[in-house]
Amino acid sequence: MRAAALHSYKPLNHENNAPHSFGNMKALSSAVLVVLLSISLVSSHDQIDFHHFLRCLPAHSHRSFPIAEAILVPSNSSFQSIYQLRANNLRILSSATSRPVAIITALHPSHAQATVICAKRHGLQVRIRSGGHDYEGLSYTSSVPFVIMDMFNLNSIDIDMRTKTAWIQAGATTGELYYRIAEKRKVHGFPSGVCTTLGIGGHLSGVGYGVLMRKYGLSIDHIIDAQLVDADGRIHNRRSMGEDVFWAIRGGGITSFGVILAWRVKLVRVPPKVTVFTVQRTLDQGATELAYRWQQVAPKLPKNLFVRL
Ligand SMILES: Cc1cc2nc3c(=O)[nH]c(=O)nc-3n(C[C@H](O)[C@H](O)[C@H](O)COP(=O)(O)OP(=O)(O)OC[C@H]3O[C@@H](n4cnc5c(N)ncnc54)[C@H](O)[C@@H]3O)c2cc1C
Ligand SMILES: *[C@@H]1O[C@H](CO)[C@@H](O)[C@H](O)[C@H]1NC(C)=O
């Protein structure tokens, strides 16, 4: 039913833009009437579903962590600012893309479970957002009615120096991770992206490459465990999800498989001091020759040296 309603909504919207070329006011007015009728049908249907969705959430959340504090609807004063804060592609933000019907700013793992269960039950799509750096804005836009599950509150970083491992919640950023590791020990690090505001949730499900790439490979090479909410709202670790799913979520784009609550990673050794410098060359100063030379020498350099062009 929803699919049909949405389907009729789109072409009518398009017709609504076109009628000037018809020059037939009667056709225009009946087209507009149909548009209005279909919009009101769609929205009342959505409102009922949405109402049921909101009512469903507390029943599936941990009682000691009321989910009401995590629910933002457009009438909440902070809705718009929270939406925009991690909608990093301004081209998508400024265009007339549809907004979510709600943002669930999960404060507890059970809030993620409840969102999955209730959204599925009441016909809403879930878009999961950690750092909001998706190039196409897939974590905060959709063409169907949707809720955003925003992970930024789940951002703890738990480092165990005995095992040289860390549990990192999805909402933590790469910069926070680097900082927390350096705080503990200057001779450890983690191979991830250059940008320091990437969300660990999305970043580690993609690949994760950066300045330690030559020496240590990719972020996903160093993941040893994960906490994943599946489509039925159950929480899994590596053992209960099985090796096939664990393999798939490291590089396959996580949203097809579930919601990542946290990743467990192995830290790597780094020298306490590194030297970093930038050389700038214009084309007139021989930048083309430099790029050519770089391609020849880069693969042969010692692994402790990283040159980026
Ligand atoms: C300015 C910039 C610099 C970048 N630099 C680098 C770099 O140096 N190295 C590199 O490897 N990559 C880099 N990237 C790419 C970046 O790693 C990816 O865009 C990554 O997906 C961003 O993750 P996020 O959590 O910030 O984004 P989000 O937009 O929050 O999420 C990205 C995707 O993952 C999904 N997702 C997010 N969180 C979860 C979760 N908890 N569970 C399930 N699904 C989830 C989203 O729905 C979306 O589809 C860069 C991107 C930008 C915009
Ligand atoms: C948003 O507003 C609703 C009432 O419309 C309220 O119940 C809820 O607690 C508010 N959310 C937050 C996070 O303040």
Domain definitions of the chain by residue range:
48-150, 157-269
Q: Which ligand is nearest to the CA of 77?
A: 2
- Ligand closest to the CA atom of residue 253: 1
Collapsing DSSP to helix, strand or coil, 155 comes out as coil
Q: pLDDT tens digits, residue range 98-126? A: 899 999 999 999 999 999 999 999 999 99
Which has more pLDDT, 28 or 287?
287
User: In whole angstroms, what is the distance from residue 216 CA to residue 72 CA?
Assistant: 41
Mean pLDDT over residues 191-197, rounded? Answer: 96
Which atom number of ligand 1 is nearest to the Cα of residue 258?
43
Q: What is the pLDDT of residue 95?
A: 67
Specify the pLDDT at position 11.
30
Tell me if residue 228 falls in helix, strand or coil. Answer: strand
Report the range of poorest mean pLDDT among 15-19, 103-107, 245-249, 286-290. Answer: 15-19
Fold of 48-150: 3.30.43
Residue 56 in contact with residue 118, Cβ under 8 Å? yes
Q: Is the pLDDT of residue 81 over 60?
A: yes
Cβ atoms of 169 and 262 closer than 8 Å: yes
Nearest CA to ligand 2 atom 13: 69
Residues 6+ away with beta carbon under 8 Å from 217: 191
Residue nearest atom 4 in ligand 1 by C-alpha distance: 195
Distance of CA 7 from the midpoint of ligand 1 (Å): 30
Share of the chain above pLDDT 90, in %: 78
Question: Comparing 48-150 with 157-269, is the CATH topology the same?
Answer: no
> Residue 244 in contact with residue 270, Cβ under 8 Å?
no
Among the bound ligands, the one closest to the CA of 169 = 1
Cβ-Cβ contacts under 8 Å for 183 (sequence gap 6 or more):
none
3.40.50.10860, 2.40.37.10, 3.90.1570.10, 3.30.465.10: CATH of 157-269: 3.30.465.10
pLDDT of 42 over the 80 cut: no
With CA atoms as reference, report the closest residue to 132 among 97, 171, 98: 171
Please report which confidence band the pLDDT of residue 7 belongs to, taking 50, 70 and 90 as the band edges: very low
pLDDT of 46 higher than 60: yes
* Mean pLDDT estimate for the chain: 87
Residue 213 φ then ψ, to 5°: -60, -45
CA 251 to centroid of ligand 1, rounded, Å: 11
The answer to whether the CB of 75 is under 6 A from ligand 2 is: yes
End-to-end CA distance of the chain: 52
CA of 82 relative to ligand 2 center, distance in Å: 14
Q: How confident is the model at residue 253 (pLDDT cuts 50, 70, 90)?
A: confident
The strand pairing partners of 157, in sequence order, are: 168
- CB count within 10 Å of CB 11 equals 9
